[in-house]
Amino acid sequence: MEWYEVGLGLLGLLMLLIGLGLPIPFALAAASLPFLWQIQSFDTSIVSAELKLWGVWIDYILLAVPLFVFLGELIGRSRIGPNLYQFLHQGVRVRGSAAYGSIGACAGFGAVCGSSMVGSLTIGGVALPEMLRLGYGKQLSSGVLAAGGTLSVLLPPSLILLFYGIVTDQSIGDLFIAGVIPGLILVTCFCVVVLIWGIVRPEDIPGNESSVKMGLIQIAATIGPIAAIGLVITVAIYAGIATPTEAAAVAALLTVILAFGVGGLTWQGFKDALFATMRTMGYLGLLLSAGVLFGFVLTYYRVPHQFTELFLSFDLSPYVVLMIVLAFYILLGMFLEPVSMTFITLPTIYPLMAAAGFDLIWFGVVYTITMEIAVLTPPVGLNLYVIQGIGRGKVSIGDVISGCLPFIAALVLLIVILILFPETALWLPEQMR
């Protein structure tokens, strides 16, 4: 079979199966099997599929995935995340402190969690009712929390960057380091959005908010756990002391201790975190395994290689190619969630980016930001529905979407900055080598 027949056939069959309601992991595997049968006999292909599906978990680096997921679940079921928000909101006396506190709490939570949806759910569950009670506008309240969750994916550790590194065979440590400066810039941009919002629509930010004077012990109890967990992850990885998997294991153990010690975690909450991690990994594990099988079929028929050669034959500017790819992902993100997009499209896209002359570490950061735009765009913007669900009828989906628009603009601005100044993402990894 010709490569384009395989490519179009795989994509068409995949879309058909997804349209029929088959879960994406099963759709990926089912779409791959007919083309695998063209390579091998039926019996041999079944054995090969089994080896591809389950053999992927032999990879040591993948042990970091359930550990980071478990870490995020523990924090989500303790008071560690909410305590950080309360400190940033009530302990810092500035107009709009609840909005700035939400951004800061999401950023701090992102430094230890790595999941956009979990970040929005954990901080949003505390911050949204409080902001509405204080008199913040519905659009601002919901938008800042939905967008704030995106910081959880850009600031390390990031599950999207982790999966990107697995698919593209790039250094996980370099990818994590590359996300630091863009993440800090994004935090600043979000704060500027809130500042401008308060100038343009002052009625959306109350003039007076209650503040609480906290002692040093109380401050340490609120920001200490996040700081400790974040330092363990970042220092261990960036200093070369531990691999991402080892750092995730130590951080998970530390989180268990802190969640029980100062976070008010109950035994029931611990068990709930375990079962939630199992459910999440049940889906992610199948998705990753099926994605590897899908990628094997693509690679065997040289679809990525031939697609890259075809695209480059048009003699387009590398930046035109980049714009087409980013537009493709933003459009696709309206219908698929980021992890699925990573395993479905990235095996074909990243060779094109490499051939166009882009650094794959740099593109990993740009790709991750683009994925975060996807979680804020309807109709399948996961963070939109998380925040709407927390609002319980007080906030409509229209309010959340409208509130996210300025923050989406900030995400687009960050991509522009990275295109104009690639060293924004590449400088820190180069210094750490």
Q: Which of 285, 282, 256 is closest to 77 using CA atoms?
A: 256
What is residue 213's predicted lDDT score, i.e. its pLDDT?
63
What is residue 245's predicted lDDT score, i.e. its pLDDT?
85
Run of H or E residues at 432: helix 423-432
What is residue 89's predicted lDDT score, i.e. its pLDDT?
67
Helices (H) and strands (E) in the chain, counts: 22, 0
Other beta carbons less than 10 A from residue 11's beta carbon? 15
**Helix 3-19 / helix 267-300 crossing angle, nearest 10 deg:** 150
Could you list the pLDDT tens digit for every one of the 433 residues in the chain? 788 888 888 889 988 998 888 888 888 888 888 888 887 766 676 666 666 666 666 667 778 888 888 888 888 788 887 777 777 766 566 778 888 888 888 887 766 666 676 777 777 877 888 888 888 999 999 999 888 888 877 877 788 888 899 889 898 889 988 998 999 999 999 999 999 999 999 999 887 665 556 666 777 777 788 888 888 887 887 777 888 888 889 989 999 999 998 888 899 999 998 998 888 888 877 887 888 788 888 888 888 888 888 888 888 899 999 999 999 988 888 777 788 888 888 988 999 999 999 999 999 999 999 988 887 887 767 788 888 888 777 888 889 999 999 999 999 999 999 999 999 999 998 887 6
Rg (CA), the chain: 22
Q: Find out whether the peptide bond into 202 is cis, omega within 30 degrees of 0.
A: no
Paired tokens of 141: 């309240």
Question: 84 with 109: CB under 8 angstroms?
Answer: yes
DSSP codes of every residue in 204-243: GS-S--------HHHHHHHHHHHHHHHHHHHHHHHTTSS-
What is the identity of the amino acid at 423?
Answer: E
Per DSSP, which regions of 285-330 are E strands? none
Range of the domain at 116: 3-432
**How many whole angstroms separate alpha carbon 91 and alpha carbon 87?**
5
What is residue 92's predicted lDDT score, i.e. its pLDDT?
61
**How many whole angstroms separate alpha carbon 10 and alpha carbon 290?**
13
In the block, tokens 């384009």 appear at 4
Q: CA 99, 103, 106, 112: dihedral to nearest 10 degrees?
A: -150
What is residue 191's predicted lDDT score, i.e. its pLDDT?
93
Q: Look up residue 6 and give its DSSP letter.
A: H
What is the identity of the amino acid at 141?
Answer: S
List of residues 6+ apart from 87 with CB closer than 8 A:
101, 214, 219, 222, 223
What is residue 419's predicted lDDT score, i.e. its pLDDT?
95
Q: Which of 147, 150, 153, 149 is closest to 175 using CA atoms?
A: 153
Coil, helix or strand for 326?
helix
> Would you say the pTM of this structure is higher than 0.85?
no
CA 81-116-187 angle, to 5 degrees, is 75
Q: Which of 397, 409, 335 is closest to 147 using CA atoms?
A: 409
Phi, psi values for residue 233, rounded to 5°: -70, -55
**How many whole angstroms separate alpha carbon 414 and alpha carbon 408?**
10
**How many whole angstroms separate alpha carbon 414 and alpha carbon 221?**
33
List of residues 6+ apart from 45 with CB closer than 8 A:
33, 36, 37, 39
**Helix 360-374 / helix 423-432 crossing angle, nearest 10 deg:** 130
Please give the tally of structural domains in the chain: 1
- Alpha helices (H) in 135-171, listed in sequence order: 138-148, 151-154, 159-168
**How many whole angstroms separate alpha carbon 199 and alpha carbon 196?**
5
Q: Which of 343, 387, 425 is closest to 179 using CA atoms?
A: 425
CA 93-99-102 angle, to 5 degrees, is 100
What is residue 121's predicted lDDT score, i.e. its pLDDT?
74
For the chain, the distance separating the N- and C-terminal CA atoms, rounded to the nearest angstrom, is 44
Question: 94 with 320: CB under 8 angstroms?
Answer: no
**How many whole angstroms separate alpha carbon 433 and alpha carbon 16?**
46
